[in-house]
Amino acid sequence: MLNVTRPSLPDLEELIPYLEEIWQSGIVTNGGKFHNELEEALKSYLGVNDISAFCNGTIALLTAIKALNISGEVITTPFTFSATAHALAWNGIKPVFADIDPTSFNLDPTRIEEAITDATTAILAVHVYGVPCDVDAIADIASRHNLKVIYDAAHAFGVNCHCGSLLNHGDASILSFHATKVFHTFEGGAVVCKSPQDQQYLERLRNFGIINEVETSGIGLNGKLNEIQASIGLLNLARLDEAIAKRKSVADVYSEGLAEIGFVEAARESRVIRDNYSYYPVLVKKNSRLTRDEICARLLAQNIRARRYFYPLVSSFDPYKRYSNQEQTPAAKDIAERIICLPIFPNMTGAEINNVLNVLSSCQ
Ligand code: T4K
């Protein structure tokens, strides 16, 4: 089966020395040597002042929301993975879904502004597929309405926008290091905060709120990344540029092939200065002979499991549907009904890419 992604794994022999050292030291978690080395390496790779590693992206987001003391209502996108809205709801916050821009697939700033009420305290925007949100417009809205901004940058590892690392925008950005991501630690995540005080408080919350053996402050949780995850991260980071270059080659072949196939359009956007090629989304045109689901079924019949990220919209899920309505976000509804994410990963072979293109071509 050709899945939407396949994780890059370091050579097993490279991992052995890390495991030996972990076994010898007996320190397997709670801020061990490799954990600290990974945080340092990530700071310099990503071009950020500080970063805190987490056990996964969802817990990273949950903790960032808590650290920033966000409450009430938060404006977010329905076109995302469920974790984005769930992290708000777990914090007792109401996610308010605003519509997206049909070219970037990210929150449309004008729709954000319309959704602001007296209860709004923050904007939680997602850089979907690693394409940067309109960070300047969002910063402007936030400062005029005194709102915090969190970016769910789960897809945006290593992405640069017009002014350097995308992660330097907003009060905090969160990353996912899940196995399906460009950079991974099997499971993992991280948070970059703008303010050093927020970063410090976040790190305390990551470890139950513990200050010292006798003092705890803040309702913390266990968000720590362990030493084996950190070792995988260090090994993957060393090969990341190579992996991203391979992803780019796959994307280039797709783009060339898709130019000949009329019923889909490549869905990429121009604000990216340095892309990570984490996903390869295509949109099925409205006048296409086959529906998106019929095309996915044809691909599956040839053992190609493309994915409909992000269909259905999160706003239609059980916890949210009682107060949200897909008709209020027509652009998101339309994109969710026409999107297909094609398989893309560093070691995808030419034959695998051609297979995908051939099936798509036969759907014309
Ligand atoms: N915010 C956003 C915007 C996100 O997209 C995500 C996660 C988060 C927050 C939360 O971050 P984490 O807490 O996950 O760190 C996958 C991922 O599990 C999820 O991390 C990701 N977004 C989401 C978009 O995709 P599924 O349910 O589609 O995963 P699954 O198991 O179907 O995997 C996809 C394909 O990958 C499989 O067909 C096979 C392949 N695969 C997967 C795994 C786990 C492998 O080849 N090896 C593997 O180990 O959610």
The answer to whether the beta carbons of residues 95 and 127 sit under 8 Å apart is no
User: Angle CA(155)–CA(161)–CA(165) in degrees, nearest 5?
Assistant: 75
Q: Which CATH architecture has domain 240-362?
A: Alpha-Beta Complex (3.90)
What residues does CATH 3.90.1150.10 cover in the chain?
240-362
What residues does CATH 3.40.640.10 cover in the chain?
12-97+105-238
Q: Which two tokens stand for residue 242?
A: 């190579």
Closest CA relative to residue 301, chosen from 364, 263, 358, 258: 358
Q: What is the pLDDT of residue 270?
A: 55
Q: What is the pLDDT of residue 107?
A: 98
Q: From CA 237, how far away is CA 226, in angstroms rounded? A: 16
- How much distance in Å is there from the Cα of 309 to the middle of ligand 1? 10
- How much distance in Å is there from the Cα of 187 to the middle of ligand 1? 10
Nearest alpha carbon, ligand 1 atom 48: 179
Q: From CA 158, how far away is CA 156, in angstroms rounded? A: 6
Weakly modelled stretches of the chain, pLDDT under 50? none
- pLDDT tens for residues 261-272? 988 876 665 556
- pLDDT tens for residues 27-65? 999 999 999 999 999 999 999 999 999 999 999 999 999
User: Which string of DSSP letters, residue by residue, matches 296-347?
Assistant: HHHHHHTTEE-B-TT-S-GGGSHHHHTT--GGG-HHHHHHHHHEEEEP--TT
pTM of this structure:
0.98
Q: Which atom of ligand 1 is nearest to the CA of 3?
A: 38
Cα-based distances in Å from 243 to 37, 155, 175, 183: 21, 15, 18, 9
Residues with CB under 6 A from ligand 1: 3-7, 56-58, 80-81, 83-84, 126, 152, 154-155, 176, 178-180, 189, 305, 309
Tell the CATH topology of 12-97+105-238: Aspartate Aminotransferase; domain 2 (3.40.640)
Q: What is the pLDDT of residue 268?
A: 63
User: Angle CA(221)–CA(74)–CA(151) in degrees, nearest 5?
Assistant: 70
Mutation test residue for ligand 1: of 178, 279, 296, 303, the one with most atoms within 8 Å of CB: 178
Closest CA relative to residue 115, chosen from 126, 99, 130: 99
